Amino acid sequence: MIVNYINSLIFCALILISATTSAQTDSIFVKDTLDNIIPVFTTTVDLLENEQQSQDISGLLQSSRDVYVNQAGFNFSAARYRLRGYSSENTRLFFNGIPVNDPENGWTIWSYWGGLNDVTRYPENSFGISNSAANFGSIGAYSYISALPSVKNTGTRVSYAATNRSYRNRAMYTYNSGLNNKGWGFLISGSSRWSDEGYVPGTYYSAGSYLLSIEKKINNKHTVNLMGFGAPTVQGRQGIAVQETYELTGENFYNPYWGYQTQNDGTQKKRNARSRNNHKPYITLGHYWNISEKLNIQSNFYAITGRTANTNLNWFNANDPRPDYYKYLPSYFINNQGTLDGSQIIENQQEYNKVLEGWQTNDPNTTQLNWDLLYNANYNNLYTQNNIGGEEGNSYTAKRSKYIVEEYRLDPRHYGFNSFGKLTVNENSDLNFGLSISNYKSKNFRLMNDLLGGDYWVDIDQFALRDFDDPNQAQNDLQNPNKIIKVGDIFGYNYDIHVNKNEIFSTYSFNKNRVESFFGINFSTTTFWREGKMQNGRFPDNSLGKSEKQTFLNYGAKFGFLYKITGRHLLSINGMYKTEAPYVRNAYVSPRTRDQLVPNLSSTEIISGDINYNVRLPFLKARLTGFFTQINNQTWARSFYHDEYRTFVNYMMTNVDQTFMGIEFGFESNITSTLQFTGAFTVGDYLYKSRPVATITRDNSQEVIALDKVIYLKNFKIGGMPQQASSLGLKYNSPKYWYAGINFNYFTDIYLSPNPDRRTAEALAGYGEEYPYVNEIIDQTKLKNGNAMNLFIGKSWKFYKNNSYLRLGLNVNNLLDNTKFKTGGFEQLRYDASNIQRFPNKYGYMYGRTYFLMLSYLY
């Protein structure tokens, strides 16, 4: 099979050679250049923790026709830019009619359909508050991707791309029959992306994707469509680290997640401890009904299933195996003296020198994981576990693993129905309407992935073992005490999260002469609850079974008004007010162990408005927008080790208010018929606007450590993205069917997200007012400005013989190989107020020069 596949690639190459002289114009290559770099698995996707992976919607942005948005999507994504500062729960994405925002946290995660670029290439997009067709929409982007054979371009497209980003190779095939004379249509797409090692050391990538969409037009009134897609992806991930490790190793892409493992033949193989293994198949059954010329309705049933899995190391009664653990860095030998500056004494000079040398020489035994040691620790740990299942005399003696690779699973079981339509009321006005019913469940559990040479693991909590003298409290599963865990067994926690959401909306639009306007409302109910499958020894009374259901009633209203001063000058204003149920991901204190709710949980409130001025002249297209948004009453929940309380805590912040305001400006100007000048600028001010209150509980017990702790976050900047970004570009379109362009991009005002606990009176309690180092604790970190230059170049050929096209495109991102640009990071939540450098910030850098070279053939 694979041989055939390679043959067809060679065949394409031969055609290329024989046909270079017969090049001809390609009317759509302009659009195609933008998509060549999709998917941009930039630093955004894997750099930060899981939560960050949703923020990359560049794939969606780049295909926009908006003069600002497509430049921003293309050029700003490497700097982790977010449209108007919004996180991705404020976008609404529909794939073939079904909503694909995650019901647990609202995110749209592009990688679930990664590699299906041929299908996702040209969605219907709108940005900001708009008259969206499939639902009420939100304040960010609204996007509708169709996978109907009758809508997509027909024909076959084969492409191969070589790159040096997350993956190195991509092969893609798409065939669309269009509708035949019997009303049948087939759309098929598939791809592979792979690399043994990506741009960052120790990362790897192996992904496939598939999509099959069958359409049958029954008559002029009825069309049905069955579609399924998925993108199985296995990926070795990149971690970010503290600045010290980058400086010592001289490598800004130092990745602490991998290490060598000796193989049977004596060779050393790189192994990554943090892999991602996702596969979420989507199936939709759609019905398109043209009831009359004035009324049409689309209805869909859908089901989403599959798994998301992330692995990590865990250990029991053993040393932290992570090479960048703070005690293994040279600074620990200085910092543990507890002084901020001045007379720092190195207590153990010999050990310090040894560690320093290991780091400076990039000795993998120091800077990376040492899998051989982990295995040997397990080989050697003969242990007798007694009282298995609580039965006296039930014992097992074998190698008990001290180190394991465990897998965190979140498996969705989601089905739903939605229906939306449009009624033409009269020649000037339309009514859009719809309803949506969604039943979502996720199965959350931990699975034994690899015992690393050991025979078993015992399902108890080692911290509880030390903290409580009642041995039952250490049990993760009270009904199976001292459970022996083998590969493939569930342990630690096991619970389901249910989210049921029902929504109706309607939008009335009125267009006449120089006016276009709309007014929309929606109502929704959201109910969620937790269903525990394990009785936890620390929380025997609130870990097992269904929790109380939480229900929220929400509503929203929006309007838009556009006035055409002339056909070339347009002025518009939009506004929205809505409430949204809190996302279940933030609703429970520690869902892994219990169903305790975050106190004062309530709906989020969103108020947003924008004013836009559009120019559409033959030589200039431009848009200028001012926007202002307030998102109030948000909840923030995290768990981490708190040094002051000396325990693992659950940290919940409520009443988090944020404002987003700024200006966007984009233009495209045709200087000559072949030379185009483009620019995109955004100046934003994204701030925390309230003093949230925090509740802190011990993860291990019901104990509330702090209640209503005031967080002094007001006027801190929202971190993790540039608040100002600029792009200027030149593009040359040759009449000889080639093009070339260059962009210069500049990013400023990038902040790290503030660790809330460092902005409390308690954190400063040990210091007097005059203490000079208070600012070290409370000041927000601002990153240096950065820049990146991108180059793109391409050519296309048309073969008249069979009416086919061949295209070659090259994108070079970060042409000048700027590897010094920190695009983000985070303040560690663990901190020591008396020595803030003990747990310093972690940073991630923009990739250096990368390329994406693609050859595609369309017939």
Q: Are strands 268-272 and 222-230 parallel, antiparallel or unpaired?
A: unpaired
Question: Of the listed pieces 373-381, 607-615, 630-638, 736-744, which binds other proteins according to CB under 8 A?
Answer: 373-381
Token pair belonging to 791: 């180059």
Distances (CA, A) of 317 to 386, 433, 461, 463, 726: 17, 59, 10, 10, 51
Based on the shown chain and the rule CB under 8 A, indicate whether residue 382 belongs to the binding site for other proteins. Answer: yes
Position 506, amino acid: S
Cis peptide bond N-terminal to 281, omega within 30: no
Place of tokens 């400006």: 665
For 352, residues 6+ apart whose C-beta sits below 8 A from its C-beta are 330, 333, 334, 346
How many residues line the site for other proteins (CB under 8 A)? 55
Based on the shown chain and the rule CB under 8 A, indicate whether residue 207 belongs to the binding site for other proteins. Answer: yes
Within 138-157, the residues that bind other proteins by CB under 8 A are 156
Residue 166 CA to residue 794 CA, distance in Å, equals 22
- Shortest CB 249 distance to other proteins, Å: 24
Residue 602 CA to residue 653 CA, distance in Å, equals 12
Question: Of the listed pieces 42-50, 365-373, 538-546, 820-828, which binds other proteins according to CB under 8 A?
Answer: 365-373
Residue 614 CA to residue 805 CA, distance in Å, equals 35
Helix (H, G, I), strand (E, B), or coil: what is residue 635?
A: strand
Binding track over 460-499 against other proteins, x by CB under 8 A: -----xxxxx------------------------------
Helix (H) or strand (E) holding 442: strand 429-450
Question: Of the listed pieces 94-102, 376-384, 626-634, 714-722, which binds other proteins according to CB under 8 A?
Answer: 376-384
- Shortest CB 318 distance to other proteins, Å: 5
CA triple 388-391-392, angle to 5 deg: 100
Pick one of 453, 560, 609, 722: the residue that binds other proteins (CB under 8 A).
Answer: 453
Pick one of 379, 519, 746, 859: the residue that binds other proteins (CB under 8 A).
Answer: 379
Q: Are strands 429-450 and 307-315 parallel, antiparallel or unpaired?
A: unpaired
Nearer to other proteins, 200 or 584 (CB): 200
Pick one of 375, 539, 651, 716: the residue that binds other proteins (CB under 8 A).
Answer: 375
Residue 726 near residue 798, CB atoms below 8 Å: no
- Shortest CB 212 distance to other proteins, Å: 8
Within 161-200, the residues that bind other proteins by CB under 8 A are 171, 173, 175, 177, 188, 190-194
Q: Are strands 457-458 and 184-195 parallel, antiparallel or unpaired?
A: unpaired
Binding track over 228-257 against other proteins, x by CB under 8 A: ----x-x-x---------------------
Nearer to other proteins, 466 or 820 (CB): 466
Q: DSSP readout, 669-684?
A: EESSSSEEEEEEEEEE
Pick one of 87, 108, 209, 335: the residue that binds other proteins (CB under 8 A).
Answer: 209
Distances (CA, A) of 242 to 97, 330, 749, 832: 43, 12, 21, 16
Based on the shown chain and the rule CB under 8 A, indicate whether residue 376 belongs to the binding site for other proteins. Answer: yes
End-to-end CA distance of the chain: 21
Q: What is the DSSP letter of 12?
A: H
- Shortest CB 22 distance to other proteins, Å: 24
Q: What is the DSSP letter of 700?
A: T
Place of tokens 């609404």: 92
- Specify burial of residue 356 (Cβ count, 10 A radius: 0-12, 13-18, 19+): middle
Based on the shown chain and the rule CB under 8 A, indicate whether residue 447 belongs to the binding site for other proteins. Answer: no
- Shortest CB 261 distance to other proteins, Å: 5
- Shortest CB 262 distance to other proteins, Å: 4
Within 253-312, the residues that bind other proteins by CB under 8 A are 261-264, 269, 271
Pick one of 219, 384, 566, 802: the residue that binds other proteins (CB under 8 A).
Answer: 384
- Shortest CB 459 distance to other proteins, Å: 16
Based on the shown chain and the rule CB under 8 A, indicate whether residue 317 belongs to the binding site for other proteins. Answer: yes
Within 50-89, the residues that bind other proteins by CB under 8 A are none
Within 1-40, the residues that bind other proteins by CB under 8 A are 1-2, 4-5, 8
Nearer to other proteins, 194 or 332 (CB): 194
Look at residues 78, 127, 159, 92 and name the one whose alpha carbon lies nearest to residue 816: 78
Based on the shown chain and the rule CB under 8 A, indicate whether residue 858 belongs to the binding site for other proteins. Answer: no
Residues in the chain: 859
Helix (H, G, I), strand (E, B), or coil: what is residue 487?
A: coil
Nearer to other proteins, 273 or 713 (CB): 273
Helix (H, G, I), strand (E, B), or coil: what is residue 597?
A: strand
Based on the shown chain and the rule CB under 8 A, indicate whether residue 554 belongs to the binding site for other proteins. Answer: no
Within 606-625, the residues that bind other proteins by CB under 8 A are none
Residue 604 φ/ψ region, left for φ over 0, alpha for ψ in the -120 to 50 degree band, beta for the rest? beta
Nearer to other proteins, 261 or 506 (CB): 261
Nearer to other proteins, 22 or 348 (CB): 348
Sites of contact with other proteins (CB under 8 A) = 1-2, 4-5, 8, 156, 171, 173, 175, 177, 188, 190-194, 204, 206-210, 232, 234, 236, 261-264, 269, 271, 316-319, 371-373, 375-377, 379-384, 397, 402, 453, 465-469
